[in-house]
Amino acid sequence: MILRSTELKERPLAVALNSVISRLTGGLPAPLIFGLLLDKLCLVYSSETCTGGACLLTDHKRVRYLCTIVAVSFKVVSSIFLLLAWQLYKRRSSS
């Protein structure tokens, strides 16, 4: 989609910007958010306080629901953006 919507001389810059934005928005915050959510589902920590230590026991049922909800929500959001881009590209190419 990026290569079709940019001019020939701007394609390397468009691909580079797409790669950087994808890495920053998808690669960095996703493990942090997922780890935070998994820490919230921990039942038993290795230390006395809940502020530190490794998680020894998690609520497996809630972890399963969390993974399913996260996967489905990202699929829905990406599908919405795909349909939006397709509609905008379709309108631009027909005019």
Q: What is the pLDDT of residue 95?
A: 57
Quick check: 76 and 91 in contact, CB under 8 A?
A: no
Q: pTM of the full predicted structure?
A: 0.59
Per-residue pLDDT tens over the stretch 22-52: 888 878 788 888 888 888 888 888 876 656 6
Rounded average pLDDT over 65-91: 88
Angle between helices 60-94 and 29-40 (to 10 degrees): 150
